[in-house]
Structure 1
Amino acid sequence: MRAWHASRIRGRFRDPYTQQFKVTGASTGSVVAFAKWDPPEAMKGLREGFMIYDEEGREIGTARDEDGKIVGGGVAQKKLKAPEGADEVLYEEFFDGLKRMGEKWKTDEKLGTPLVLSIICTDPAYHGRGIAASLIRPVLALADKEHIPAYLEALPLAVPLYQRLGFKPVDRLEYDLTKAGRDGKAVLTIMVREPQSAAV
């Protein structure tokens, strides 16, 4: 799983159409939290400072031409195969569900294409310190300024935080864990946030 996730993240670091933020520990310098955003084409505020990274995570330059425009069409995210030893049917079911929800909710005739928070993680040792909110609020402020909606898929423990930040539940994605030999269901809450006139 570690190798599989590393392959996914490296691909995203090379994509000039994503923007990623991190928080590092003051004493260790290690990453304690990070967030990955997929801004829509119309969003200008997150375009400044895009960098491209190589396989080892080293900066290799900005993703702009001499006129300041973003170059390329983004790195095509190839669909990775299931990690070795994983149930491929369940793997496909999970990612097909995410794709289906994205197609259903990531386009709004009135609001347009949203800003997407696709990944946010905090080291458990740093939970409860407001780090996740600090990674989200400044980006939502930019979205509000540009009248851009936002979209995410939330794990149950994160739903209250997202609601405090102005997201509203619009759908649910459920997976039957008994298919994987476990009890119950895994639930993702699909949440959308309309642009707001004042910062949350």
Structure 2
Amino acid sequence: MGIQIRYATESLVPTLATINIQSFAGQGFITNTFPNIADDVIHELKRKRYLQKLAHPRTHVVAAVDEDTGEVVGCARWLFPPSGAEGGAGEKEGEGEEDIGSQLSSEEAAAEARAELELPPGTNRGIYDGFFQVLKEKGEKYYREDDIVLEFIATRPDQQGRGVGKALLRWGMERADKQQRRIYLEATTPGFPLYAKMGWESLDKAEIDYTRWGGEGTQVLTLMVRDPQQQQ
């Protein structure tokens, strides 16, 4: 019973959107940003966002698949630096690792991905913009242009403890080591122990005070990096 990491396609997008929502439920961002907005509306927003990520040439969207059942049990998004950025110059299967190109196979999906992403009525735009602004301002002190960025990683809640997160992390770690690049991320409190165990170091903390924009509660994210390991 193993976990296989595969590149995602648009057929998996609804499942990836569901895993995204389920994995981050209760951490503050979704409930504060989309108060009293129906679940299906939030899901549709996430679905469209994943199409945009699949279309982005430097964003690698991967899915963790249970080899026995074929079910998607986790996912991750890795942003690679632009070609020509200082650092390693690794190779991917048949092409440059940094520029994967679109992961969309149909023109219909590509056209939808090009459309402007509209937030649903009732969105707390202050929280939506403020959340990412806080992380951007904090990250400017530490993020480097040649870093690989782990934008997102999630395991389906009922699959926790099976090594799904480790498999998704190793996928990116292997490529980072091959290219001799750092990996930068912003860790949630639940995710922090795994990153620390697998070699990431803490740089700083970013506190999101949702009450600042009319929400409730706070959330702390830890800025972390993992230096590349020399390959044997």
TM-score (norm 1): 0.75
Specify which of 208, 218, 225 is matched with residue 192 of structure 1. 225
1:30-80 alpha-carbon deviations (Å, 9 max, x no partner):
3211111011135424435935244xxx467xxxxxxxxxxxxxx9996x4
Gaps of 5+ in 1: 61-74
Q: What is the alpha-carbon distance in structure 1 between the residues aligned to residue 49 and residue 122 of structure 2?
A: 18
> In structure 2, what residue type is equivalent to 1:31?
V
Q: Deviations over 1:93-124 (max 9, x none)?
A: 112122223433221xxxx6111110111110
Structure ranking higher on relative contact order (CA contacts 8 Å, 6+ apart) = 2
> SS of the counterpart of 1:105?
coil
**Equivalent position to 2:206, from 160, 173, 177:** 173
Structure 1 distance, partners of 2:115, 2:151, is 13
The structure whose residues are more often helix, as a share, is: 2
Unaligned runs of 5+ in 2: 1-41, 108-112
1:101 aligns with 2:138: yes
What is the one-letter code of the residue matched to 2:168? L
Structure 1 residue 181, shift from structure 2 partner: 4.4
Matched residue, 1:146? 179
Indicate the RMSD between aligned Cα atoms, in angstroms.
2.7
Match of 2:79 among 38, 41, 45: 38
Secondary structure, aligned partner of 2:140: helix
Letter of the 1:18 partner, please give it: T
Aligned to 1:87: 124
Q: Give the Å deviation of 1:172.
A: 1.1
Number of positions where the alignment pairs a residue of Structure 1 with one of Structure 2:
176
Question: Which residue of structure 2 lines up, in the alignment, with residue 18 of structure 1?
Answer: 59
- Percent identity, please: 32
- Aligned with residue 137 of structure 1, among 170, 188, 191: 170
Please say if residues 51 and 59 of structure 1, whose CA atoms lie closer than 8 Å, have aligned partners that are also in contact.
no
Q: Distance between the aligned counterparts of 2:101 and 2:58, measured in 1?
A: 10
Checking the alignment, whether the CA contact within 8 Å between 2:62 and 2:76 is kept in structure 1 is yes
Distance in 2 (alpha carbons) for counterparts of 1:113 and 1:130: 28
Q: Which amino acid aligns with 1:103?
A: E
Q: Distance in 1 between matches of 2:114 and 2:78?
A: 16
- Structure 1 Cα separation of the partners of residues 195 and 43 of structure 2: 27
Q: Distance in 1 between matches of 2:180 and 2:115?
A: 27
